[in-house]
Amino acid sequence: EMGGHAHYMLKEIREQPDTVLNACRGRLVREEGSSRLGGLNMTARQLRRVRRVVFAACGTSWHAALVGEYLIERLAHLPVEVEYASEFRYRNAPLDDRTLVFVLSQSGETADTLGALREAKRRGQPTLAIVNTVGSTIAREADGGVYLHAGLEVGVASTKAFSAQVAVLTLLALHLGRLRGLSFSEGTAVLKALEAVPSLIGEALKAEPAIEAAAERVAQARSVLYLGRDIHFPVALEGALKLKEISYIHAEGYPTAEMKHGPIALIDVHTPSVFVAPRGPLHAKTLSNIEEVRARRGPVVSVGLADDDELTRLSDHVLPIPDAPDVVQPLLAVVPLQLLAYHVARIKGCDIDKPRNLAKSVTVE
Ligand code: F6R
């Protein structure tokens, strides 16, 4: 069943080129430089009226939603709020008829996410769901939505579902953008970038030997910082969650520049920092943050471009990813972080597919 892979988690990480392909299949509309998401059951006119988007989710799905916030802001210039489902359901969040509420869930059974959906419905809000499991409770109760088509995810630590969610959110951002200020050529550039992702993930997967070397060092740590900024901040959060879930090493994700507002106090020779640092407009700032960590003798692991000499000089380990337009970079940058967590857990002898205290779907509050 695991097709020669040592664990389901590894199999699911390596499946991600297909995951993205399947999430996009039949949904790219090249002649319009846009995407088609028929399951939303909403007309162009209805979608154009939307003034605000709310995402509610838990865990990894919440991280995917945060990537979605950056994407929708960038491509459609709409305000987005990302809520923990457990908070949203008991708050009195302002909603109106121009707010679009989405819940995101791999399993479609998470109690708090279902609670958030029901609360939004109770308030008369049309609700949409981005779900993997066909026919799940959330899928059935939502007014419309988008399936991930990621296939069964067995490993308790979610990997391919995250990639499928981010791919679908890219399609959603593109669609909302094309109803607003995003031009045909800008939309086409996003489509092309997305179409290239499966083979680029394939390249990122080839870096496993470098990742294993970094894992040997991270496995010695008691605590690890994950840092990323802009669209990579949620990727840093997701990398930290993967590590803590399966290796039981404490890890925290932060926006890179927040480091100096507290977490820098933790840095010493025993506390590695993992920087998500592909090239981009803020790269020089990230490099100077890395220098600050080095000055305190903190080990540095970076996810970045293989030909980035400055990053290589400043890092103890570089986990290489191929270059790509920044809207699709999270789909590449998350891969080495999943593998890093996997190899750390393997080195430590942890039960990777069934980490302690965790269940695949959390059906109690
Ligand atoms: C992380 C993980 C959990 C889930 C969370 C939401 O690896 O598995 O954090 O992401 O419990 O689950 P779904 O997406 O099924 O609602």
Structure confidence by residue, pLDDT tens digits, 199-232: 999 999 999 999 999 999 999 999 999 999 999 9
Let me know: does 106 contact 61? Beta carbons within 8 Å: yes
Nearest to 271 by CA among 341, 343, 223: 223
What pLDDT, on the 0 to 100 scale, is given for residue 360? 81
- Substitution site in 104, 110, 242 for ligand 1 pocket (most atoms within 8 Å of beta carbon): 110
Q: How far is C-alpha 50 from the chain's CA centre?
A: 24
What pLDDT, on the 0 to 100 scale, is given for residue 365? 85
Count other C-beta atoms under 10 Å from residue 29's C-beta: 16
- Beta-strand relationship, 317-320 and 300-304: parallel
What pLDDT, on the 0 to 100 scale, is given for residue 354? 87
Let me know: does 34 contact 182? Beta carbons within 8 Å: no
Average pLDDT across each block of 10 residues of the chain; the chain has 365 residues. List them in order: 88 98 98 96 96 98 98 98 97 93 97 97 96 97 97 94 98 98 97 98 96 97 97 98 97 96 94 96 96 97 97 98 97 98 97 86 83
84 CA to centre of ligand 1 in angstroms: 12
Let me know: does 63 contact 162? Beta carbons within 8 Å: yes
Residue 149: both structure tokens together: 């088509």
What pLDDT, on the 0 to 100 scale, is given for residue 2? 82
* Alpha-carbon gap, residue 158 to 360, rounded angstroms: 9
What pLDDT, on the 0 to 100 scale, is given for residue 243? 98
Full strand arrangement of the beta sheet holding 80-84: 80-84, 52-57, 99-105, 127-131, 144-147
pLDDT, tens digit (0-9, with 9 covering 90-100), for 2-40:
888 899 999 999 999 999 999 999 999 999 999 999 999
Atom of ligand 1 nearest to the CA of 361: 15
- Substitution site in 9, 12, 61 for ligand 1 pocket (most atoms within 8 Å of beta carbon): 61
What pLDDT, on the 0 to 100 scale, is given for residue 356? 83
- Substitution site in 356, 362, 363, 364 for ligand 1 pocket (most atoms within 8 Å of beta carbon): 362
158 lines ligand 1 (CB under 6 A): yes
Residue nearest atom 16 of ligand 1, based on CA coordinates: 105
61 lines ligand 1 (CB under 6 A): yes
112 lines ligand 1 (CB under 6 A): no
Query: Which of the residues 121, 192, 354, 360 is marked catalytic?
Result: 360
* Alpha-carbon gap, residue 341 to 344, rounded angstroms: 5
What pLDDT, on the 0 to 100 scale, is given for residue 26? 97
245 lines ligand 1 (CB under 6 A): yes
Residue nearest atom 3 of ligand 1, based on CA coordinates: 59
ipTM for the assembly = 0.98
Count other C-beta atoms under 10 Å from residue 4's C-beta: 6
- Does the annotation mark 360 as catalytic? yes
362 lines ligand 1 (CB under 6 A): yes
127 lines ligand 1 (CB under 6 A): no
SS3 label, residue 308: coil
φ/ψ of residue 314, rounded to 5: -90, -10
192 CA to centre of ligand 1 in angstroms: 30
Residue 361: both structure tokens together: 């779907």
